[in-house]
Structure 1
Amino acid sequence: MTVRVRFAPSPTGFMHVGNARTALFNYLFARHNKGKLILRIEDTDIERHSEEAVNVIYEALKWMGIEWDEGPDVGGNYGPYRQSQRLDIYRQYINKLKEKGLVYECFCTQEELEAMRQEQLKKGEPPRYTGKCRNLIEEQKKKFLEEGRKPVLRFKVPEDRTIVFNDLIKGRISINSKQLGGDFVIVRSNGMPVYNFVVVIDDALMKITHVIRGEDHISNTPKQILLYEALGFKTPEFAHLPMILGKDRSKLSKRHGSTSVKEFKEKGYLSEAFTNFLALLGWYPKDGKEILSMEELIERFDIKDVNSAPAVFDTTKLNWMNQVYIRNYPIEKLTDLIIPYLQKAGYDINSFDRKWLEKVVEITREYFTVLSDAPEYMEVFLKDEFNFEEKALNFMKESENRLKVVEELLKVLKAQEKEITQETFKEAVKQVGKTLKVKGKELFMPIRIALTGKMSGVEVPILAETLGKERVIKRLEYTLNKLKD
């Protein structure tokens, strides 16, 4: 049997990390078992649908390194792969259920349904549809239609039936049909079939062998099993992934920070780090190795090792993982990814030599948590005219000797004929110290401030060598002009 799994998102305009993790686990399961991943777009909500929202799904998955074997954009033998293009297929199966007498028209209004619900709550009973319209005669239906009522189509839930299924993550799950809320709607009053119905048709016709999805779908599973049986379809295996929680153990939401794949991408998380981190939300490799390439994730992934307990989205761990990836990333690729952030910060990239820029990235990358940190840490290399931190200004004002250190260094460097290296720069600083009889902080801090405007940062000899003699002299002169008055 060829393993066939699917990822079936609704195009809402953003990809939540929960959906992204579901897509990833489906992909890892498919590839580990030499199977197929099908991408299906659940776009029956016509009012909310947009092509832009569909593209958001494509872009998020591609960024994460997830490839699908069948889908709206790549085709396949079991299409169409958009629900909005499958309405004729759904009608055929609606008619099958009608022929079997397993569905009926329900004319209850929202007000009647709400009154029914309130009455049950008052008695301490769980809300459920009572089956009020199950046995309407034709005259009653005709009267309702004349009143302008548009019926929904309800599926007849068998009385007191225990539905059992073995979940690959949660284990044996048993739910009685009394807990399903009564006969459920499969077609809305506007003629549009609902999720629980169409998902069964799609999964059956696309020969899906394993349904891997979030645990919020557990309550839908018994309804879907009843529909599989009613239509004569083979029921797939189910695996319900644990919830993703914020650090406060509540369901992950906007108040915990970024929750969409696009936001993490824009902040400057590397796709490999983000995907690696998501894979460890609810699953952990047996060998305990955490930094894993996609190939290594595929090799190690086993759905039986997924934890049934909720997973906590720990941004601290994601940040650590991203730092590890940044420090080990190929420098050419890393520079390519950083350039848009530098351009956004106002730098003219064409004014810098590419190899020199790569050298700056190499020096500074150990300070980055995310790529959007790059302009802040690279600024000391890129800007020859800069603002002085208040505490740096105050430090320079405390003693006239501190500006004399800068003047003396300028004099020494101008007298040198050779280009600056770390060693020649250290020698020049040493010479200044001897001449002015200063050392330690009184020697080194004025030089750092004169070259950067800050009291901390990258090692000054490394900075000086990278800038070169001409730019070092330019910065020393800039500082003297700014601070002499």
Structure 2
Amino acid sequence: MFTDAVHGRIKPGRATVRHGEPAFEDPILLKQDGLPTYHLANVVDDHLMNITHVIRGAEWLPSTPKHVFMYQAFGWEPPVFCHVGLLMDMEGHKLSKRTGDVHISEYRDKGYLSEALLNFVALLGWNNRLKSDVLPLEALVENFSIKDLTKGNTKVNFGKLDYLQKAFIAAYSVPEDGDTNKSSSFTASIVEAVQNAVAVRFPQVPEELRHPEYIAAILESDMKNYITPVKFVESHDYFFLPNPDWDSIEANVYREKMTGEDVIKGKDALATIVNTMKKRPSDMLEWNDDYITRILGDNWQDEDSKKMVQRNLRYALAGGKGGPGIHKIMMILGEEEVIRRLENVRWYGKRGQLDEKGRVIMTWKETREKMDEEDEEEINDLLKKSSQI
């Protein structure tokens, strides 16, 4: 019998009694080639290295009584044994190299902060009694205890790692101690990492779209959604592509949520925005957030109309993807690029087809501005039919 730091008192499960003492089937300690098996090697090695605590997976719990008896046979003091649950994927399978990234270094190479990784690993199988899961090293040292480790296996949810990464990114971006030098240095390292990710993902991208100031502006506009350089570039690819990917899954999902009426009104709205921008005297009105607010606010007053315009703009400029607000997207892209995208936005699908909810699937290969009156009359007729379904 021995005491495990997690499971408590453990009785040998398969021991028999000989001469009043527990005994096991004879385990193989030395192989024919003279090399020791794990049972012997781990006991001798841990003793010679002055190991005080053995923390290992629960699959070794049944073998531990053998190891304890071997320590006693050698006349050595056994270490403290601590058997923890296994790490499983979300489907209940044991984590392994065949089921995905399992080595910490792989996540570090992807751009995860060491603080986030340490916090994430510490929470695996640990019954954290604190209100927050975001714990810097000092808090982990102060509050972590082996006694709070859980006995069962642990499902590894990598979404928690992303959550912790965002929390530490936010803390470093705006440090509590107000150290602007530390914040600037951290931001510069993120900018460089994103630059490298852009170069790998889009090797043909123009130099100005990899410029540090351009990257910094994108990061500043949506730092709350930064996780890793590669993920950020993928989710904000519309800043680096000649046009948004209007064929992407995100674009299709976004488009399906828009009604035919949204698109009809949106066509006129985007045309109005383009015409207003083209008439702007560049020497009188500066392209800034105030001007963009004025463009969008002067023409649409009620909330429903404003939301309709926002939906159409996000589809046209970003392919329906998330990210910063429309004002910031327009500011970063610049007036010339905004006009170009609004004039070339494409909508795909079968013209005039009704979906299962009676909505018109509004998808054209022509730009909205080039829709002729015949198309619009046809669409309006279908809208009337859909309202009767």
Higher relative contact order (CA 8 A, sep 6+): 1
Alignment of 1:31-430 (within 5 A): 164-175=1-12, 177-178=15-16, 182-248=25-91, 251-252=94-95, 258-262=101-105, 264-265=107-108, 269-330=112-173, 331-346=187-202, 348=205, 351=208, 352-368=210-226, 371-388=229-246, 389=251, 391=255, 398=264, 401-402=268-269, 404-413=271-280, 415=282, 417-430=284-297
| Deviation (angstroms), 1:257 | 5.8
Cα gap change, 1:303/1:445 in structure 2, threshold over 3 Å: closer, same or farther?
Answer: closer
Aligned-residue Cα RMSD (Å) equals: 3.8
| Deviation (angstroms), 1:423 | 1.0
Could you say which residue in structure 2 is the equivalent of 1:459? 325
Partners of 1:429 and 1:343 lie apart in 2 by 34
Instruction: Tell me the SS of whatever aligns to 1:182.
Output: coil
| Deviation (angstroms), 1:447 | 4.0
Cα gap change, 1:256/1:462 in structure 2, threshold over 3 Å: closer, same or farther?
Answer: same
Q: Which amino acid letter does the alignment assign opposite residue 290 of structure 2?
A: E
Q: Which amino acid letter does the alignment assign opposite residue 218 of structure 2?
A: V
Q: Which amino acid letter does the alignment assign opposite residue 378 of structure 1?
A: H
Q: Which amino acid letter does the alignment assign opposite residue 243 of structure 2?
A: E
Contact 2:277 2:335 in 1 (8 A): no
Instruction: Tell me the SS of whatever aligns to 1:440.
Output: helix
Contact 1:367 1:377 in 2 (8 A): no
Q: Which amino acid letter does the alignment assign opposite residue 275 of structure 1?
A: L
Instruction: Tell me the SS of whatever aligns to 2:6.
Output: coil
Deviates more, 1:341-350 or 1:462-471: 341-350
| Deviation (angstroms), 1:409 | 3.0
| Deviation (angstroms), 1:335 | 3.2
| Deviation (angstroms), 1:345 | 1.8
| Deviation (angstroms), 1:404 | 2.5
Contact 2:85 2:152 in 1 (8 A): yes
Partners of 1:312 and 1:444 lie apart in 2 by 40
Cα gap change, 1:416/1:316 in structure 2, threshold over 3 Å: closer, same or farther?
Answer: same
Partners of 2:315 and 2:39 lie apart in 1 by 66
| Deviation (angstroms), 1:279 | 0.8
| Deviation (angstroms), 1:326 | 3.7
| Deviation (angstroms), 1:297 | 1.1
Cα gap change, 1:170/1:339 in structure 2, threshold over 3 Å: closer, same or farther?
Answer: farther
| Deviation (angstroms), 1:364 | 2.2
Deviations 1:239-291 (A, max 9, x none): 22233344455544579765443554466544322321221122234444321
Contact 2:222 2:324 in 1 (8 A): yes
Q: Which amino acid letter does the alignment assign opposite residue 325 of structure 2?
A: E
| Deviation (angstroms), 1:295 | 2.6
| Deviation (angstroms), 1:402 | 4.3
Instruction: Tell me the SS of whatever aligns to 1:185.
Output: coil
Contact 2:244 2:316 in 1 (8 A): no
Instruction: Tell me the SS of whatever aligns to 2:279.
Output: helix
Instruction: Tell me the SS of whatever aligns to 1:240.
Output: strand
Cα gap change, 1:415/1:430 in structure 2, threshold over 3 Å: closer, same or farther?
Answer: farther
Partners of 2:68 and 2:163 lie apart in 1 by 43
| Deviation (angstroms), 1:474 | 4.7
Q: Which amino acid letter does the alignment assign opposite residue 273 of structure 1?
A: A
Cα gap change, 1:248/1:439 in structure 2, threshold over 3 Å: closer, same or farther?
Answer: closer
Partners of 1:422 and 1:430 lie apart in 2 by 12
Contact 2:222 2:323 in 1 (8 A): no
| Deviation (angstroms), 1:477 | 5.4
- Equivalent pairs, count: 319
Cα gap change, 1:269/1:479 in structure 2, threshold over 3 Å: closer, same or farther?
Answer: same
| Deviation (angstroms), 1:236 | 1.8
| Deviation (angstroms), 1:429 | 3.0
Partners of 2:89 and 2:100 lie apart in 1 by 9
Instruction: Tell me the SS of whatever aligns to 1:189.
Output: coil
Contact 2:273 2:295 in 1 (8 A): no
Partners of 1:214 and 1:361 lie apart in 2 by 41
Deviations 1:413-436 (A, max 9, x none): 4556443221111113345559xx
Cα gap change, 1:456/1:288 in structure 2, threshold over 3 Å: closer, same or farther?
Answer: closer
Partners of 2:42 and 2:229 lie apart in 1 by 40
Could you say which residue in structure 2 is the equivalent of 1:96? none
Deviations 1:334-380 (A, max 9, x none): 33444443333215595333133123113223335655421233223
Q: What residue ranges of structure 2 are gaps of 5+ in the alignment?
A: 17-21, 174-186, 347-364, 371-389
Contact 1:361 1:378 in 2 (8 A): no
Instruction: Tell me the SS of whatever aligns to 1:187.
Output: coil
Cα gap change, 1:318/1:455 in structure 2, threshold over 3 Å: closer, same or farther?
Answer: closer
| Deviation (angstroms), 1:193 | 1.9
Percent identity between matched residues is 26
